[in-house]
Structure 1
Amino acid sequence: MEGKMEIGVDIVDLERIEKVYSRYGMKFLRKFLSGEEINLCLHKPQVIASLAGRFAAKEAVVKALGTGFSGKVHWKSFEILNDRRGRPFVRLVDSDCFPAGCSIKISIAHDRHAAVATALLERA
């Protein structure tokens, strides 16, 4: 029998992220990203799009989880990283926040105005 699947989607306006980042800089980034995530984003050709994509991906994951950012799930309970080919993946930092044996797939896209992310969570 296959596990139960849940999906989450989020879209983020790039201009919104650019304004907050311009105003608060690293303080803003450290609130929702790990050091490794920050490093990845700051070394991308389109920094704002990368930041917005990570932000949308984290929102999509907690929507798929069904908890939002509440209780024990917080921004740094998991990371959105990239494999060697550039494909995004989710690394659980605090696995107690997620169902045992769950698998999370993520997809991120952006254009000149917005970043969108979809998360697919499969419970064992």
Structure 2
Amino acid sequence: MSTLYGLGCDLLDAARVDALLNDHGERFVQRILTDAERSEFERRGGAQSRRGVLYLATRYAAKEALAKAWGTGIGKELSFQDVSVLNDEAGRPVCVPADALKLKLAQRGCEVLVSLSDEQTMVMATVMLVPQSDRPRLNHEQLSTRKEEQ
């Protein structure tokens, strides 16, 4: 039987993120999204488009779900900047941890799997912390390069 180190789920009304964007603007975007995520957010139309708002909302939900799976919530051991939730060449969401989180994951012997969903006004993210596998992992640069090649 396989080990599961943590499981987290977050359900979020995209209107809540839209309201936070209206209230706090770019400051909110910078708090939630990493540089790599902000590039994709802008490519999708940013705060002025529905696609941009849903992108931001799914990343917010994914990071909240990760914090729940980790068992601490955002702020104590994890921040929104500790992980980028990007897409691989097939469009599958992947968590790319920053160096500090990469070290914590290695110490626990686990990796992060994420699933995202959005439907009109609601977004959902599920995160599982599972034993590390031997499969190759992509980093920010590899994901960015693959996007530029498309």
Using the size of structure 2 for normalisation, the TM-score is 0.74
Does 1:104 find its partner at 2:89?
no
Q: Distance in 1 between matches of 2:72 and 2:115?
A: 20
**Equivalent residue for 2:125, pick from 114, 117, 120:** 117
Instruction: Write out aligned runs for 1:1-124 (5 A).
Output: 2-44=2-44, 46-93=51-98, 94=100, 95-98=102-105, 100=107, 101-123=109-131
Bigger Rg, structure 1 or 2: 2
In structure 2, distance between residues paired with 1:67 and 1:99: 17
Q: Contact 2:4/2:128 (CA < 8 Å) preserved in 1?
A: no
8 Å CA contact 2:105, 2:111 repeated in 1: no
Distance 2:72 2:130 in 1: 15
Q: Who is 2:136 aligned against?
A: none
Partner Cα separation in structure 1 for residue 104 and residue 76 of structure 2: 9
Q: Give the number of the structure with larger relative contact order, counting CA–CA contacts within 8 Å between residues 6 or more apart.
A: 1
What SS class does the counterpart of residue 89 from structure 1 fall into? strand
Conserved 8 A contact 2:33-2:56: no
Matching residue's letter, 2:105: F
Contact 1:89 1:105 in 2 (8 A): yes
Decide whether aligned partners of structure 1 residues 69 and 99 sit closer, same or farther in structure 2, where only a CA change above 3 A counts: farther
Aligned with 1:76: secondary structure? Answer: helix
Question: How far apart, CA to CA, are the structure 2 residues paired with 1:67 and 1:123?
Answer: 19
**Identity value in percent:** 27
TM-score, length-normalised on structure 1?
0.89
Given residue 9 of structure 1, which amino acid in structure 2 is its aligned partner? C
Contact 1:72/1:97 (8 A) holds in 2: no
> How many Å separate the matches in 1 of 2:4 and 2:124?
23
Using the alignment, how far apart are the partners of 1:109 and 1:25 within structure 2? Answer: 24
Kindly indicate which of the two structures has a greater share of residues assigned to helix: 2
- The count of residues paired between Structure 1 and Structure 2 equals 124
> For residues 52 and 58 of structure 2, what CA distance do their matches in structure 1 show?
10
1:120 and 1:8 map into 2 onto residues whose CA distance is: 7
